[in-house]
Amino acid sequence: MGSFLFNTVSFIVAISVLVAVHEYGHYIVGRWTGMKVLRFSIGFGKPIWSRVAGPDQTEYCVSAIPLGGYVRFLDSREGPVDAVDEGRAFNQRPIWARIAVLVAGPAFNFIFAIFAYWALFVYGVPTVTAAVGEVAAGSYAEAAGLETGDRIVAVDGETTRDWESTLVAMLGTMVDDGRIPLTLEDNSGRQRNALLNVGDNANRLTEPGMLFDGLGFQPWRSTDAAAIVGEVSDDSAATRAGLLPGDKITAIDGEPIGRFYDLVNVVSTRADKQVAVEFERGGRVLTVDTILGSTERDGKSHGLLGVTAAVSASDYYYLRKYGLLESVGQAAERTWSTTMFTLSMLGRMLTGDVSIKNISGPINIAQFAGESAENGLDYYLGFLAIVSISLGVLNLLPVPVLDGGQIVYQLVELAKGSPLSERAQVMGQQVGIFALLILMSFAFYNDIARMICC
């Protein structure tokens, strides 16, 4: 119940903030271009709070249904206009002014995203290097020769800096022809090329949560570090065994060791016991006996070999941070790339190259909102930026009930010299509502399917 309530509150806060930003764009540009604003509402339905203010006596209100909002302009099509307000109605202003007002809502969503990313880059964004973790046997990744610890430095010749840019590039190339050309770099700095070829499975792998499982590898985690010795503690079991930096431990008492995480788990259960340590050095496999040390933790005694991993988490995690001015450019670049990726994925959904299961409804968005809020303000701000970009893109689509569709109406009027007929506009509205209902049906279906499956 607590999680549901937290998710709901996080979702309402997110939607309220982003809708306020979007509608403020319409509102402020409408005022700048001489239009009279009758109402500015956050939410739909009956107002639960309102205030009338300003020279135009605009009503500012918060309404009962927190799933949107609107700005109501004076419009002569809805009734007679007082002589004092003649020329200030939305439909009486020049076409350029109307288009500016319609564009302003999505534009403010993009501006908000730039501001959010700017704040994140100034503060510092925890970034994960795109590196390969555990590789599944018999998978596409194994067939391509991917190994744990490999860093992905380029996708199809495009340099990538982190998992976000890497995933965008991987998805983009995969849906084209089912092939993902990678440039990999191992821990020694040596680079090589690899090719993930998923063939006709590309569409299936675009479903939420399917990419890594389908390709057969997971992103690198600190537990994926190889059991290669980095440093050897003085007067430790490792010192007595003669272990040296660079030795690769392959077994303890005959129990295979693949990762440093495995080594810690096996050694931990053998406090103060003699063990046989098998390791590789210079192409030779050696075995030596040593008595493990021990350390107290959580009231229990744990075995201690006395080595550190040659590769640590700090080699794969870093803080991406820029100065005040440099962050502006980085934020604009991130907003642009995310916008283009969103448009690309929407287009590929229409062509069937990308699964429509990626369409999320309010239930799934609420879960993301709650999870990001739990992880901290920086994660929540990043979530708001992504959703704000999505709102901006969706509202610019040429669907009559959205800003993009209304912009098309204005352009048609500009071209033909007169407004579309009332009948044509009504038909357009009906088509737009039908399209949105289909989209919402897919979104709710996907949300429910995720809840049932998970």
The catalytic residues are: 23
Which stretches of 121-178 are assigned E, i.e. beta strand?
A: 125-128, 132-135, 151-155, 158-159
**Separation between Cα atoms, residue 146 and residue 134, nearest integer Å:** 10
Question: What tokens appear for 2 in the block?
Answer: 């607590």
Nearest CA among 234, 219, 220, 221 for reference residue 308: 234
Segment (H or E) for 287: strand 284-291
- CB 330, CB 322: distance < 8 Å: yes
Nearest CA among 428, 225, 202 for reference residue 310: 225
Nearest CA among 338, 311, 151 for reference residue 245: 311
Longest CA–CA span in the chain (Å) reads: 99
**Separation between Cα atoms, residue 177 and residue 379, nearest integer Å:** 33
Give first-to-last CA distance, the chain, whole Å. 17
DSSP, collapsed to helix, strand or coil, labels residue 155 as strand
Residue 261: Cβ-neighbour burial (10 angstroms; 0-12, 13-18, 19+) = middle
Residue for token pair 């500015």? 40
Q: The dihedral of CA 70, 76, 80, 81: what is its sign? A: positive
